Amino acid sequence: MKNNLEEAISILKRLSEKGVEKALEDLRNIKQDDDKDKKAELTSCPFCAGSHVVRNGRKNQQQAYLCRDCKKSFVDSTNNVNSHSHFGEAVWKQVIRDTVNGVPIDNTASGLDISHSTVFNMRHKILYGLEQEEARNPTKFDGVCEMDETYVLESRKGKELPHGYYRKARKHGEPAAKPGLSDEYICVCAGVERNGGVLSKAVGRATAGTDDIREVFGDRVKAGTVIMADGLKGYEVLKAENKCYVFNTDKIVGVEHFHINTVNGFHSFIKERNRSARGYATKYLNRYCALFSKIYRSSEDVADEIYSILFDHKGRHQTIEGVKTENLLNI
């Protein structure tokens, strides 16, 4: 996707002083027009959904509004992910696009001429918002689904190992010290409906058990769903509790449609993104799993869809401290 902001910043850097002054004046006029457009679009209160909204001065250089129904004041970013942010829609959309496309944080920061820590906080607000959206509106499985596990190395990226930790520190991208599947790996359970939803969630170290399968998929599988798995007995719990059908593809060879190629493709996608990032910090892994589930097999406009979800005034606000400390994966 084209980065219009990066191009605009590049042009401004090459202008004469007079040209910058003229561009700045034009931008002020555009900002005023944009504020008017936002007022025309804002038709309801983010607190009570009331429609009696009037202008109410300015707050922190933003147009403020007052709801005549609930008497509360608010601005455009109230209850949004960008609440208290200094950046507008264009910057947030570019950070979302770069997050979707796996662009490194430093590259995004350089392109937008903002700091690494600011982009990091914005990215994790986006990821945390997607994780919370999955919790609010969980993916449901119906029809024919494929389920399987994949494994990624545990990572304490950006943090020193505590004294006496079970393993030695390793460089980003370095393989596990132990051969085969060990407690150095984090298990990610994944499910893909062949004509619908996608879900992935990290559950623990090494192999997944029956309780892990129940936690990830238990409430999401509708009655009558056909599940393809590759032999892990834990999936039988879904058959007992959800009145669905579970087939072990290891025992059905050469029969068309009895395979887990679709979910294996999703596994490859997860591993490639993890590899290109030289490992995601394990504490943030489920946030990235929420992102991967959202964007896998998605169309080009998925970034705009994510923006619409996170900026809908429905209690999406998170503090930076909350994003750094709440709902982290601790395994």
Give 152-208 as a DSSP string: EE---TTSPPPTT-SS----TTPPPSSSSS-TTEEEEEEEEETTS-EEEEEEEESS-
pLDDT at 5: 74
Using H for helix, E for strand and C for coil, what is the string for 19-52?
Answer: HHHHHHHHHHHHHHHHHHHHHHHCCCCCCCCCCC
* Model pTM above 0.95: no
Tell me the mean pLDDT in the region 39-60: 75
CA distance 166 to 164: 6
| Lowest mean pLDDT segment, chosen from 5-9, 104-108, 152-156, 218-222 | 5-9
CA distance 44 to 133: 22
Bridge partners of 153, per DSSP, are 185
Q: What is the pLDDT of residues 100-135, one digit of tens each?
A: 999 999 999 998 889 999 999 999 999 999 999 999
pLDDT at 25: 83
pLDDT at 2: 56
In CATH, the number for domain 140-299 is 3.30.420.10
Q: What is the pLDDT of residues 252-304, one digit of tens each?
A: 766 777 889 999 999 999 999 999 998 899 999 999 999 999 999 888 789 99
Please give the span between the terminal C-alpha atoms of the chain, in angstroms, as a whole number. 36
CA distance 243 to 111: 52
User: In degrees rounded to 5, what are phi and psi of residue 21?
Assistant: -60, -45
> So where are the chain's domains?
140-299
Which of 35-44, 118-127, 172-181 is most confident? Answer: 118-127
